[in-house]
Structure 1
Amino acid sequence: MSDPDAYIALISSLPGSERLFVAKQPPLSRLRLDRRLKALTPEDAQVLKVMEHALSWNEYDMDVTDAQAVERCKKALADIPQPSLRSVFQERMDLRTAVAALRLRGHGGSPPAGAFGFGRWSRHIPANWGDPDFRLSVPMPWIKEARQLLEAEDPLGLERLLLSVSHKQLKRHAGRHLFDFEAVAIYVLIWNIFDRWAQSNAQDAAIRFEKLAQQAMANVADFDFERVSA
């Protein structure tokens, strides 16, 4: 059981920042952030560790295979009891599934048989493979721009867009939590987005996205994310 006063003190000690893509670094160092996170209970600290590992942009850079990504997602969902944090996780997986499908199709890939990737659109996407945006432009208004950036071979622009979308999603969830563990977890995930952008450059982004394009999660068609998350 967490101490409400301790969590209020923790949240109050975390500096805010709205200057994504403007600030050259996160509002505090990872070392200082980790010191503050020592106020978490062991149970909450473990949930945060699971989420960071599963959602980390760095963890998916170069060598993570599709099978490893699937297993990571399955385990993460089983270890995240908070409904709001599960929603955060699922939204990020929806984003990655859509972008992976755009990459796969852009490299000449055929529509996968059955489900593709993770989340609620895993069957919708193959069924709408011929539509430029998989008929997702309403629930995912950013997808047209993502497709255009992929077609323009602008990996840094695409990374900026995806980080921005993820940031907005997290800020929406943050508005529903003030001084609880969920607020802390969302803050850390936002911190990771700031840190990722601070480390980004065009050459690394190009290498990263080409590697992901080659993988494109094409071999996870039999994975039913909805069944796992039930």
Structure 2
Amino acid sequence: MADPDAYVALITSLPRHEELFVAKQPPLSRLRLEMRLKALSAEDAATLATLEHCLSWPAYGLETTEVEAFARGRAALDAVPQPELRSILRDRLQMRSLIAALRRRKAGGGPPPAQWGFGGIARRIAANWQEPAFGLERPYPWLGEAAGLLERGDALGFERLVLTESRAITRRRAEGHYFDFIAVAAYVLIWNIHDRWARANAAAAARRFHALADAALGARTDIFAER
């Protein structure tokens, strides 16, 4: 059984997250975070592992199929006992379903089958396949912007939008929890969002560096080229 005092001590030991896109990295390393998470009960640690296995981007390999990802999500929803955490999981899986549909359409694919994804939205998506946001702008206000960013090939802008909405969902569903396991789980899920942005930003910076280096090398080559 969880020790409430231990969870209060755990939460107060965790440094506050800075604003997303302002911080260049999470407020503490994964190693230090793991050391603090040793205060969790075995049951809560298992629940957190289930959440991370389902929602953490590095947990999915390039070979993971849509079917496998959706099966993992359904198993996680069945395994997580806390209603607040199931709500976070459900909302973020619905979001991923919509993103997967946008990507499917962008790649030239057809509408998804009836039982596809989460939230019972597959039929609505299929019925409005050619609409920019599948006619779902009202329940999902971010979806129209996401569709536009994807169509324009703005990968970094798309990533920013997805992470912003993922963080908003997590914070909203954990609202009112400050010193319990719900608060700890939300902190870790937001840590993963910050870590994802740090990695995406670093990758973008590396691409910009290589592009500049290639351009500089090309200019240098032009100097010595025969006229």
TM superposition score category, shorter chain reference? 0.7 to 0.9
Distance 2:142 2:83 in 1: 25
The corresponding residue for 2:162 is 162
Task: Write 1 or 2 for the structure with the bigger share of helix.
Answer: 2
Residue 61 to residue 152, structure 1, CA distance change in 2 (3 Å) = farther
Distance 1:58 1:50 in 2: 14
* Count, aligned residues: 205
Per-residue deviation, 1:61: 4.9
Structure 1 or 2, whichever has the larger Rg, is 2
* Structure 2 residue identity aligned to 1:9: A
* Structure 2 residue identity aligned to 1:133: A
Is contact 1:116-1:126 (8 Å) kept?
no
Is contact 1:6-1:39 (8 Å) kept?
yes
Q: Which runs of 5+ in 2 are unaligned?
A: 208-227
The corresponding residue for 2:36 is 36
Identity across the alignment (%): 55
Distance 1:24 1:64 in 2: 29
Is contact 1:133-1:143 (8 Å) kept?
yes
Distance 2:140 2:33 in 1: 32
Per-residue deviation, 1:27: 0.6
| 1:1-22 deviations in Å (ceiling 9; x for gaps) | 2111111111111111232111
Distance 1:111 1:66 in 2: 14
Is contact 1:115-1:126 (8 Å) kept?
no
Is contact 1:137-1:143 (8 Å) kept?
yes
* Structure 2 residue identity aligned to 1:86: R
Distance 2:113 2:68 in 1: 21
Distance 1:67 1:106 in 2: 19
Per-residue deviation, 1:52: 0.2
Q: Which runs of 5+ in 1 are unaligned?
A: 206-230
Distance 1:31 1:132 in 2: 42
Residue 154 to residue 203, structure 1, CA distance change in 2 (3 Å) = farther
The corresponding residue for 1:216 is none
Is contact 2:48-2:185 (8 Å) kept?
yes
For the aligned residue pairs, the C-alpha RMSD in angstroms reads 1.8
Instruction: Indicate yes or no: 2:72 matched with 1:72.
Output: yes
Instruction: Indicate yes or no: 2:116 matched with 1:84.
Output: no
Residue 114 to residue 157, structure 1, CA distance change in 2 (3 Å) = same
